[in-house]
Chain A
């Protein structure tokens, strides 16, 4: 079945460590996105990519980095520069950036100890 897979589901890290969240899709979608969700804050866009080897900053990109070397994959690295990294992270894809119809993964919950 086609879909979008995030891993790990739960992740714990110590302060000062970088961590990479995986996002893989087999929907043949061009566009991919990373959102951060905090209670009562809704969904905030971190980074997005409309095509392979290209990506743009979203509204809260500081302390995060991404790569888009393959169409299927859009990993997110939460760096030690992110001051408040504990959150629920959601990856999404869409057939093209011109549509608002997003398919989301199940999310990754990162907790900094």
Chain B
């Protein structure tokens, strides 16, 4: 099945630093979503984007739906230790189409 190109694959940062990650696709999506998975748990939805060009914030998180509909990015500002985990992007075309996931970005935050 198709997968999204998510980068980087992993990041090691110091507490307080900002982090950016992105996701690209060769085809367009109508919805972009970002999930976070804590170690040993299931993913949790962070942000959903429904409109090309949309910029959405949720606390220290900011995500954007690319204007071409083929990409999205997620920024985390002023990282804290509990930001540790795996971040997944996902794209959805709508209707009964399946959700397509990226392979994830593993974030490590050093206190």
Interface residues of A (CB under 8 A from B): 6, 40-45, 48, 50, 58-59, 90, 92, 97-107
Nearest chain A CB to B17 CB, angstrom units: 24
Q: A-B pairs with the 9 shortest C-beta distances?
A: A104-B42, A100-B92, A59-B1, A42-B103, A43-B101, A100-B99, A97-B96, A100-B31, A104-B43
User: For the complex, is B45 an interface residue (Cβ under 8 Å from A)?
Assistant: yes
Q: Is the CB of B103 within 8 A of A44?
A: no
Q: Is the CB of B42 within 8 A of A40?
A: no
Q: Is the CB of A50 within 8 A of B103?
A: no
Having A45-B1, A100-B99, A106-B42, one finds 18 other A-B pairs with CB under 8 Å, namely A40-B9, A42-B88, A42-B101, A42-B104, A48-B98, A58-B98, A92-B42, A98-B94, A98-B95, A100-B31, A100-B48, A100-B91, A100-B92, A102-B45, A104-B44, A105-B42, A106-B40, A107-B41
Q: Name A's interface SS.
A: loop
Interface residues of B (CB under 8 A from A): 1, 3, 9, 31, 33, 35, 40-45, 48, 88, 90-92, 94-96, 98-99, 101-104
* Chain B residues in 8 Å Cβ range of A105: 42
Most chain A beta carbons < 10 A, residue from B40, B41, B98:
B98
* Chain A residues in 8 Å Cβ range of B43: 43, 90, 102, 104
* Chain A residues in 8 Å Cβ range of B102: 42
* Chain B residues in 8 Å Cβ range of A43: 43, 88, 101
Complex CA gap A40/B3 in Å reads 13
